Amino acid sequence: FAYDSHIRSGVKVTTGDLNGDGIDEIITGTGSGGGPHIRIFTKEGNLYNSGFFAYDKSFRGGVNVASGDLDGDGIDEIIAGAGNGGGPHIRVFDGAGNPKLTNGFFAYDSKFRGGVNVATGDIDADGEAEIIAGAGQGGGPQIRVFEGNGTLKPIQFFAFHPDNRSGISVASADFDNDGKDEIVAGQLTNEETWVKVYRYNNSKTVLANFRAYGQGVETGVNVAAADIDNDNIAEIITGPNYGGGPQVRTFKLDSTPINSFFAYTTSFRGGTYVAVGDFE
């Protein structure tokens, strides 16, 4: 258990190499209903350090987490996004919980209270990851991309219909081996499990558009992306959001299914967060 076994808020998860040893750590954030506490574990499940609160510990919306090397030094940073009920605020920390951006920044209007989902990817092949933001539940499906210092990059777009208010899950990886990461978006809550992959350009080129689960399944979908078969081409990893069974699926870019398994007992309906890391 990442937190006390009595806590029923669930757990957000990502991975990152926080010490530059070439092996990823597991980074967790509490789900909605929990305080915004981040913990770090080794691949064996041992605590890496005591963890830290990304926001005021009285906040009970949880915290969304991502990790990436924002400054090109070979060590990943931790990116925190406020959970549901909080403003769309993003903060950046090192592995010890020290803030890298003193005040953080708002990805969207500060009055919005659906929180913000976060990912990282090097979308311009400059050797430094960017921060990718997707509005939380109740927000339009607008993707925004920021430099590691919080500067908004010029291209932003709606991943799904602008009137959609499901929020979006986001991920990023290189699907064509050109050195530039693409952006993956999934409808997040109370909508069908549509997944799209975009090339980050002025044309917002769509490379993939498919349902991760069957027609009529309206749980929304959590997404991750990584090269899981060592062919230098990323795959898409999905888990249903709240209301869905814990079935993890993997896909090629053309939506061809690769694998499927249940991460927990098949009767569980709390949703499944997914991440991929290199632990060897």
Cβ-proximal residues to 170 (8 Å cutoff; 6+ apart), any chain: 117, 118, 119, 132, 133, 134, 143, 183, 184, 185, 186, 223
E-strand stretches of 137-229: 142-146, 157-158, 168-173, 182-187, 194-198, 206-211, 221-226
CA distances to 48, 184, 263, 276, 280 from 43, rounded to whole Å, are 10, 26, 17, 12, 9
Q: What's the pLDDT at 8?
A: 83
Output the six-digit token pair for 225: 């992306």
CA distance 242 to 28: 18
Tell me which of 3.40.50.620, 3.55.10.10, 2.130.10.130, 2.20.25.90 is the CATH number of domain 11-262: 2.130.10.130
**Residue 88 φ/ψ, nearest 5 degrees:** -80, 60
Q: What is the pLDDT of residue 101?
A: 87
Nearest to 219 by CA among 195, 200, 202, 183: 195
Per-position pLDDT tens, the chain of length 280: 999 888 888 999 999 999 999 999 999 999 999 999 999 999 999 999 989 999 999 999 999 999 999 999 999 999 999 999 999 999 999 999 999 988 999 999 999 999 999 999 999 999 999 999 999 999 999 999 999 999 999 999 999 999 999 999 999 999 999 999 999 999 999 999 999 999 999 999 999 999 999 999 999 999 999 999 999 999 999 999 999 999 999 999 999 999 999 999 999 999 999 999 999 9
What's the CA gap between 46 and 41, in Å, rounded? 5
Q: DSSP alpha helices (H): ranges in 171-214?
A: none
pTM (whole model) above 0.95 = yes
